[in-house]
Structure 1
Amino acid sequence: MTADLSTREPPVPSAGVHLLARDPADVRALPWGRAHAVFDASPEVASVMTREDLDDWLDCSLLHYPVLNAMRGAVPVPPEELTRVITVAGEARGGYVDGAKVRAQLAAGATVVVQNLHDWHRPARLLCARAAELFTAKAGAVAFWSPAGEEGLRVHRDDGHLFVAQICGTKRWYLYDTPRDAADWQPGYVDGLDEPQVVDLRAGQVLYLPDGIAHHTRTLDTESVHVTVAIREPALRGAAELALQACLAGVPAHAALSGSAEDREKAADDLLNRLADALTRVDRTALVAHLGRRAIETRGSR
């Protein structure tokens, strides 16, 4: 009998969630892919970065735009309003983060975004490497630094399961629907949704957002810093593409559809029949294992 995939309860990737949650009971209760959840952060997540790290990155680092960038609402802050030129070995080099300019943008209401923590910040790199292994998925981390009383991006959907770790301050999240099926949504801005649920996320807590849930945010009466760990599982289209590649291995690249229109249709029909037969013999276990290994080895969240 074929399983009804539309109604089957999805499994909880418990090993990965154990890495992020302090209490094992929160792992068992997590509604993976179905609804949001809030739980206390594990020590690994709570210490992934500090508020003081941000000051160090502004004043004592060589961060370069767009690793650090900023947004005012949905509008990117131009790089020249965040960066400076420094002289290296007698040569002027632009694009380096200017702490004074970044702080001025924060004071004017911009949100600072620090990208790709998993590539250059050791605690985030270690956390994401372990998360990728346990979730068998790509994992990446991004930090968001927002001033008090500011709105985030308007209502939108992200592609991936998100674990939002609040580092300092409180952030208010407005959460809308969770799509039932991947065909029901696209990443990006959305309009016309019902009234949201409201969650105030406090320092030391983690908010789990299922893949595709619509949301937007507001910072309350103090500044907010949070780190989002994005978990992106292997794509279903990737499985289809890999299976087709395996089936096409025996078709020479130089082989052509030749002859009359009738001859070409016959050749195409023969090819499709051969592919259909080959697809029934694809090793599903090997296919899934290969996609999992590829996801783990691909650093980053996208």
Structure 2
Amino acid sequence: MPLPDRSALDLLSGDAQTFHHKVWASRVHVHHTDPTELVGLLSLQDVDRLLTSSALRTPALRLAQDGSVIPPSRFTRHATMSGTAVTGLVDGRKVLDLFDGGATVVLQGLHRYHPPLTRLVRRLELELGHPCQANAYLTPPGAQGFARHSDSHDVFVFQTHGHKQWEVVEPDSSGFPDGPAREVLLEPGLSMYLPTGTPHAARSQEVTSLHVTLGINRVSLRELLRSLATRALADERYDVPLPSGWVDDPSLLAAALGEPLAALADSLAALDTTAVADARADAFLSDRSPVLDGGLVDRVALSALSDDTRVERRPTAACVLRPGPERLTVHLGDRSLRMPLRLTPVMEHVRDTPAFAVADLEPWLDASSRLVVVRRLVREGLLRIVP
């Protein structure tokens, strides 16, 4: 099922702006929406196919029961491919038997191989500016996969089959998670956001439960400041050893610290915060792993590209334009392109138009040039050819 044509935060929280300004990293938030929009992202049938008709390998899948992780040897097998041993293959029959016995099935890293969640996670990453991931939990009736715990990252959770009773400990007025336990019945059409460190536990009821957890690996100011300080400390002036004899006379070290500390403070104070933020954004927009579903079909179809060919923006790609003094930089999410500045209006059209015919670029490019540009953008993964 394609992701609805709206922001991931609107889908998961109800209103992206409210989430950014009033919810993010501060409080639990519950949102009700159309069940079909969430169920279509990972159905019970999807999980059935992954478990029984694909070649999943650990650690893409793990199992847990009564708060403990089940050893992979109990649900994996070995095989050979062209004479080469393949280990860690998930044995669908063993997984189903353990599930029947009360084990929770955990599908890990679904954003890497399940396209609907890949699209959702990519959109969520771009809206938040933090790396995200997707796991799913299939729990048999009346079972609890994990005891009460807290995660080291923020999460969105939403139900796609059955329902599950959650116990969530909300922060008190001081921000510490010591408030009263809140009972939330998670069912299709309901999503819930939990900030880092929120204690929670979940138990399925009288039916099988399937829910998706979107983990948000948020980057802190401490991490950014540490990287800036590390860069400043690369200056060779800081290679000077501590003074000899400082253990017996700590005042020697105290005196030696004054000038380097002042120099470090000056180096950090001199940083252009706008340039730091721009560089951080550029790095984020160019180092995500590539998502090129349909890329082979597109490459084959390029030989027949013409003015009548329709193309569309690949939903997993970013298209952020950074005009410079001499070149236009186009960030695609997994890489960056350097293009002539004269192509800026062309790329603005590509950015702002979800789908168009090659001939629509005629205001800016002649027939030969527009074919060249579109071919490149297809090869780079920004555009795909509409069948």
Verify same fold: TM over 0.5.
yes
Distance 2:51 2:8 in 1: 32
1:103 shift after superposition = 0.7
Deviation at 1:227, TM superposition (A): 0.8
- Separation of aligned partners in 2, 1:42 and 1:271: 59
Aligned to 2:9: 17
Name stretches of at least 5 consecutive residues in structure 2 with no aligned partner.
Answer: 1-5, 290-387
Distance 1:293 1:151 in 2: 42
Q: Does the aligned pair in 2 maintain the 1:163–1:209 contact within 8 Å? A: yes
Distance in 2, matches of 1:120 and 1:108, equals 27
1:94 pairs with 2:87 = yes
How far residue 231 of structure 1 moved from its aligned partner, in angstroms, is 1.8
Structure 2 counterparts to residues 94-173 of structure 1, below 5 A: 94-173=87-166
Distance 1:161 1:179, change over 3 A: farther
Give the root-mean-square deviation of aligned CA atoms: 2.8
**Aligned mates of 1:77, 1:275 — CA distance in 2:** 50
Consecutive unaligned residues in structure 1, runs of 5 or more: 1-13, 186-192
Residue 156 of structure 1 aligns to a residue in which SS? coil
User: What's the secondary structure of 1:109's corresponding residue?
Assistant: coil
Which of structures 1 and 2 has the bigger CA Rg?
Answer: 2
The answer to whether the 8 Å contact 2:36/2:189 transfers is no
Q: Choose the corresponding residue for 1:70, options 55, 63, 68.
A: 63
User: Which sits farther off after the overlay, 128-137 or 253-262?
Assistant: 253-262
SS at match of 2:203: strand
Partner of 2:221: 236
**Residues 257 and 268, structure 1, Cα contact 8 Å, conserved in 2:** no
C-alpha separation between the residues in 1 aligned to 2:283 and 2:154?
Answer: 18
The code of the aligned residue for 2:137 comes to: F
Q: Determine the structure 1 residue equivalent to 2:42.
A: 49
Q: Using the TM superposition, give the Cα deviation of residue 151 of structure 1 relative to its aligned residue in structure 2, in angstroms.
A: 1.6
Task: Report the alpha carbon displacement of residue 35 of structure 1 after superposing the two structures with TM.
Answer: 2.7
Structure 1 Cα separation of the partners of residues 181 and 155 of structure 2: 18
Q: Deviations over 1:179-202 (max 9, x none)?
A: 7788x68xxxxxxx6651111111
The Cα shift of 1:256 comes to 2.7
Structure 2 counterpart of 1:204, which letter? Answer: G
* Partner Cα separation in structure 2 for residue 258 and residue 136 of structure 1: 44
Larger RCO (CA under 8 A, 6+ residues apart): 1
Normalising by structure 2, we get a TM-score of 0.64
Of 243-252 and 71-80, deviating more is 243-252
Q: Tell me the distance in 2 between the aligned counterparts of 1:242 and 1:298.
A: 19
Identity of aligned residues (%): 29
